[in-house]
Structure 1
């Protein structure tokens, strides 16, 4: 059997099916069919072969030819050690001349040979971050702001105040839809409204009324207002300043510390922040490793694998939209939206697979258990979460995949130059 290379990863294989072998296979199938065939005017199993052949011969011929071609194809790829991506297509061979055989051409793709470049040329920056008391204080302030209350004050409104207002918007002298509300509670400085609106409310006092013009941005989501200048009439009923709860026993209890011990609260928060730091460092190092592998590896992506991944990403996007909107989506999302991401994912999958195979990397049961227990520790009932993972094979496989990828990252980090990079908590996790 002759194999030829077409473009890139495409291959073609010439197959030859002997006619006598095909005829024998068709006869065998026809005989098997005759034992159970039912046809009007004949008892079951008594339909003459000549009638069955006339009725089903064409179908049986195609099925037999397809099976013989597939058998010959799979024998050939085994002999040639081809790593086939996807499914072959079979077509008649236009150059085949021999009358005693049928010539077919099997067209298929193979997975690429992967050679990873010199990883010693790569530098990975590993963040080094310590959780400080100031980081704990900032996180406590976030929790306090989530529990903020407001008290009425007799002064001009300023940023962070809550104002209770009536407002009405006009285009010319006509009110516009959605531009009116009574007793609306607006917290200034949180960008709930357009900046120019809030800027005009800042400085107003209880009982004060004001009219002002503002222009909506050209790209404003409500197209009937985009780029238009409107007038707002605003009346302030109340100005309230924020009051943050003190970090005391009552506050500690409100965030889950049953005995109200503030020192326990701070210790628990430090533990949570350190877990967040660990996860962020792990994520950043992994991102750098994956990018380095892509940069150091020239790889052709099989079109079959790329198409499959594009389809999967499209389905995931539609499912996500459905979950967000509660409506079934029928959007025609073009392949171009997903091709780049799909190519990256398929490429990384092939590269990681090569490293796993060549370096005999595996996920050990104790590593999987440790990962599951670590993830479960973030929940109130960690033992239940651990059991939940081990109850279904699919969930356990997800954890095994994470461990496998972590082991690959660890192997790559041992090959590259890894530099510790002192990083503040805020720079690592982002300002909150």
Structure 2
């Protein structure tokens, strides 16, 4: 076997593998001899078919099968002999040869990664605490979640829930498919196009109003984007928000058996502190990743980027399928995911190199504590822990996450770290934006 490698770009390689005709003929003779004992051909007794007849009838097919086998047999040996580490699957193309067998394999290789400078990263570590006012704000949010709507006989005010029927036309064409019945709008949430909710303020149940608005230029429906429209709205009913009292009944609904406000505030604070700790770790990790990505520049294999782009698109595609949308209507161009995909691939390769070079091993205790932290937010934590440990793939996901966190801890230990005091709300609001 002869092997030659051509470097076609920084990461692309074209490997040519040649196998002598003698090897091909030897394998063909073995295959044809075996085939002669099995085939049935008119005019010949079973097992007595001359090999030249078998070769004439099945030679091309057998040679094709042998070519496929030779690729399987020689490809990885050729890679090992050339000390090549391909990223992704190769594109293999057999070449027409009258003497021997030859094929080319085109693929990308993993980049060489230099870790010079990883011990000089400059990282900001956020520091925050949960204050009494933060607890008050959280309890207010919990009250908002329990709010009910109370029917009122007065004009619409901001924050009211208004039930309406309406029609909309643009350029003389009705775009609401007739009349929309019993549609609910909470004034002030700005979920309608700009100006719509403002036009409801001051109206009373049983009244109507006609007004003109323009759809935003970036409106999701291209047929309506930027166009002027006329709306005719009938107000059906007006409801104001009614917030519950923070009393024993309210507190017990959140699992506080003694129903006391003190126990409730303590439980809320504990949950907030746990969430804050996770958010601060995430923020620190993000800071480390930003510094690492900026410090170590490397080309990434397109093959791996393609896979990561598909992973990023998958949730959108699954959502579209659930909503029975056509995938073509999603309008998800590759370039909106490509930057994030390249970053993920690059950081994955860099962290992998750090883990390998520094012999970082998975800490089983940290895996256990991570799973237990995840389980705390469920009704039966022990069942959740057992669920993870009962499935190798689920456990592996957590192990990889912990191993990555250990690599980040190693980087933090080497880095120049400066503490930065931040507000609880700033940390959690940004964390929520990233999640959503």
- TM-score normalised by structure 1 residue count: 0.84
Q: Please state if 1:318 is matched with 2:317.
A: yes
Q: Please state if 1:294 is matched with 2:293.
A: yes
Q: Which residue of 2 aligns with 1:214?
A: 212
User: How far is the alpha carbon of 1:113 from its aligned partner?
Assistant: 0.9
Distance 1:264 1:44, change over 3 A: farther
Matched residue of 2:157: which SS? coil
Alignment of 1:105-184 (within 5 A): 105-151=104-150, 156-163=155-162, 177=176, 180=179
Q: Which residue of 1 aligns with 2:230?
A: 230
Q: Which residue of 1 aligns with 2:77?
A: 75
Q: Which residue of 2 aligns with 1:390?
A: 389
Alignment of 1:57-76 (within 5 A): 57-68=59-70, 70-76=72-78
User: How far is the alpha carbon of 1:24 from its aligned partner?
Assistant: 0.8
Matched residue of 2:232: which SS? strand
User: How far is the alpha carbon of 1:250 from its aligned partner?
Assistant: 0.6
Query: How far apart, in 1, do the equivalents of 2:96 and 2:175 lie?
Result: 71
User: How far is the alpha carbon of 1:68 from its aligned partner?
Assistant: 3.5
Q: Which residue of 1 aligns with 2:92?
A: 89
User: How far is the alpha carbon of 1:346 from its aligned partner?
Assistant: 2.2
Matched residue of 1:215: which SS? strand
Distance 1:121 1:81, change over 3 A: same
Q: Quote the RMSD (CA, aligned, Å).
A: 3.4
Matched residue of 1:113: which SS? coil
User: How far is the alpha carbon of 1:52 from its aligned partner?
Assistant: 2.2
User: How far is the alpha carbon of 1:280 from its aligned partner?
Assistant: 1.5
User: How far is the alpha carbon of 1:405 from its aligned partner?
Assistant: 0.8
CA contact (8 A) 1:172 1:230 kept: no
CA contact (8 A) 2:159 2:188 kept: yes
Distance 1:59 1:260, change over 3 A: same
Q: Which residue of 2 aligns with 1:367?
A: 366
Distance 1:339 1:167, change over 3 A: closer
Unaligned runs of 5+ in 2: none
Matched residue of 2:108: which SS? strand
Matched residue of 1:242: which SS? strand
Q: Please state if 1:429 is matched with 2:424.
A: no
Q: Which residue of 2 aligns with 1:247?
A: 246
1:177-209 deviation line (CA, Å, top 9, x unaligned): 4675676654322224445333233234567x4
Q: Which residue of 2 aligns with 1:419?
A: 418
- TM-score normalised by structure 2 residue count: 0.84
1:40-96 deviation line (CA, Å, top 9, x unaligned): 5656544432232122212222332443455444334323322222336355499xx
User: How far is the alpha carbon of 1:166 from its aligned partner?
Assistant: 6.0
User: How far is the alpha carbon of 1:23 from its aligned partner?
Assistant: 0.8
Matched residue of 2:199: which SS? helix
Equivalenced residues, count? 425
Alignment of 1:276-287 (within 5 A): 276-287=275-286
User: How far is the alpha carbon of 1:381 from its aligned partner?
Assistant: 0.7
Query: How far apart, in 2, do the equivalents of 1:183 and 1:273 lie?
Result: 38
CA contact (8 A) 1:200 1:212 kept: no
Alignment of 1:393-412 (within 5 A): 393-412=392-411
Query: How far apart, in 2, do the equivalents of 1:294 and 1:318 lie?
Result: 29
CA contact (8 A) 1:159 1:189 kept: yes
